[in-house]
Structure 1
Amino acid sequence: MGTLLKGKTKDLDGFSVTRILPHAEKRMVGPFVFLDHMGPADFAAGEGIDVRPHPHIGLATLTYLTEGSILHRDSLGNNLEILPGDVNWMTAGRGIVHSERETHETKANQHQLNGLQCWIALPEQFAEIEPAFAHHKKCQLPQFNKEGVFARLIAGDALGMTSPIRTYSPMFFLDVILSAGSHFVRPNQDQECALYVLEGNVDVNSELYEKGDFVLLDADDVVASRSFSRVVFLGGEQWPKTPHMYWNFVSFSKERIEQAKRDWQEGRFPDIPGDNQEFTPLP
């Protein structure tokens, strides 16, 4: 039987963001410690996403869009546009800085944005690795098509497929389209799993869940769709303990987080080439 967890939605100058993880009832699902749904949003010309340079440690970020685009820049020198269906995976490790803005062409016109942002905690033995970045186009990602189920594996391992993204613990992130009358057995039954309904509605053991619902699944749960639905499945191996989180920092050591706070305040994180004229202050 699925367990429904409701996210909290905030309006940021007309832009809706729903914080799903961490949740008071569930701090993490597999290695996922953070999940935001950005949008859907319609922006007028001159408006849109403009997240100034900010730091991360101890995690990997996953950005996955269904509409619109984001311009990613980071302190490793990466500078590229994220488009719908692409996977943008940034491993912070011991420390990285990035910004999330938009190209001139996007900002200069009316445009939309809709997508998910996740943080995936790094196991303790990998928490201080060198930062890294990977970006894969949608056509490079594994596909599963069978009996009205169309699945794209974004990261990890599921349904006999492996994503090209390097991950650091057993996990999965699937984008699944369900045609009317189709059903889908939740993946990786030995791991934690949750679903997030992007479009439509689905039945889990005869319980109906709608767009925007985040549901923790049991091992033998079957998901069925009466009409077109689009659902993200995410999860992984259950962790024995949950790391600490402060702002953009994740660590099993509170002292390490305090050090990261001092490093940001005192300018010891690296700059982003071409985007170093402003930054996000420590809250």
Structure 2
Amino acid sequence: MSFFPANDPAPGDAFACDAIAQVIVPRTSDIGGFAVRRALPSARRRMVGPFVFLDEMGPAEFKAGDGLDVRPHPHIGLATVTYLFEGEIFHRDSLGTAQAIRPGAVNWMSAGSGIAHSERTGAEHRHGGEPLHGLQCWVALPAAREESAPAFAHHDVTALPVEAAEGKTVRIVAGSLFGRTSPLVTASETLFADVTMEAGALLPLDPAAEERALYLVSGAVDIAGDRFEAGRLLVFRPGDRITVTALTPVRLAILGGAPMDGPRYIWWNFVSSRKDRIETAKADWKAGRFAAVPGESEFIPLPE
């Protein structure tokens, strides 16, 4: 996953539901015709559980010959999470991983002490043009795991459990929900799920995870009499049971988990509990001390 430049999110509309702590409106940036909406971090909310970063990329429709080309760049202290609704991205990293990700699958790259990777549209997917739409997240690693060895995990669409009933389909990408548990191994308690709902369907959310949020990708929902449209991150208060009612066909993501063990500093693609560690990472990338990505000759330079 890459750091797409985007403006900071803003506070959302007024709301009445006591269960909602914040409504965050992502700010949109246009990156060469490719829309990116940033929901985390925001001035009012830096993290939800271990999630320190949430971008919605697209939906976009690439023209024939075009595609995504994110050159190799570094990460430390986090796990990147890539989840697609449409299209395909080909991931390469300095561990030697070469893995395509498609809708319904997950790429989970734990940077630990340091990793570099690229994300591109494969040559075979550029001939006739292709859509791309998905979520890119960063999950902070616990302080004790920030310097762990880098690792990569991929789980295909068939490996992630799905609960489907009463007009809704829930794919559990990380953690446990509705009695189903993802095979994805995480460094701390983490919840991430992709939900689609028919109009009129109900989604009950128990307070199993201490920190929870809902990102509305498409459609409109009702929560305790308040209506919320697409492009909102709804952060819930701990301890409340919530019911989400779909007013239209809806797609949303549920995310959260246990609170992180202290604040995190973010600079460019680096996340750490220590400012000095970020300075070291900056110097290492500038000096070429990160391992290279096999098959790649380009890289994104350190921002000045």
Q: Output the TM-score relative to the length of structure 1.
A: 0.96
| Equivalent position to 2:243, from 203, 212, 222 | 222
Partner SS for 2:185: coil
Structure 1 residue 26 corresponds to structure 2 residue 45? yes
Displacement over 6 Å in runs of 4+? none
Q: Aligned AA for 1:270?
A: A
* Unmatched runs of 5 consecutive residues or more in structure 1: none
Q: Retained in 2: the 8 A contact 1:158–1:188?
A: no
Partner SS for 1:274: coil
| Equivalent position to 2:75, from 56, 65, 71 | 56
User: How far apart in 2 are the matches of 1:252 and 1:151?
Assistant: 33
- What's the counterpart of residue 23 of structure 2? 4
Distance apart, 1:25 and its partner CA: 0.5
Distance apart, 1:24 and its partner CA: 0.8
Aligned residues: 282
- What's the counterpart of residue 251 of structure 1? 272
- The one-character-per-residue Cα deviations of 1:104-162 (angstroms, maximum 9, x if unpaired) are 01123211100000000000011111110011111110111232221000112222222
Alignment of 1:114-193 (within 5 A): 114-193=133-212
* Unmatched runs of 5 consecutive residues or more in structure 2: 1-16
Distance apart, 1:190 and its partner CA: 4.5
Alignment of 1:40-119 (within 5 A): 40-119=59-138
User: How far apart in 1 are the matches of 2:247 and 2:301?
Assistant: 47
Partner SS for 2:175: strand
Structure 1 residue 282 corresponds to structure 2 residue 302? yes
Structure 2 vs 1, CA of residues 68 and 240 (structure 1 numbering), >3 Å: closer, same or farther?
same
- The one-character-per-residue Cα deviations of 1:84-109 (angstroms, maximum 9, x if unpaired) are 11101001000100001111011232
| Equivalent position to 1:261, from 282, 290, 297 | 282
Q: Retained in 1: the 8 A contact 2:77–2:147?
A: yes
Q: Retained in 2: the 8 A contact 1:141–1:164?
A: yes
Structure 2 vs 1, CA of residues 87 and 150 (structure 1 numbering), >3 Å: closer, same or farther?
same
Q: Aligned AA for 1:281?
A: P
User: How far apart in 2 are the matches of 1:243 and 1:72?
Assistant: 26
Q: Aligned AA for 2:298?
A: E
Q: Retained in 2: the 8 A contact 1:97–1:270?
A: yes
- Name the stretch that deviates more: 98-107 or 154-163: 154-163
Q: Retained in 1: the 8 A contact 2:106–2:154?
A: yes
Q: Retained in 2: the 8 A contact 1:59–1:93?
A: yes
Partner SS for 2:282: helix
Partner SS for 1:245: strand
- What's the counterpart of residue 36 of structure 2? 17
Structure 1 residue 208 corresponds to structure 2 residue 218? no
Structure 2 vs 1, CA of residues 106 and 190 (structure 1 numbering), >3 Å: closer, same or farther?
closer
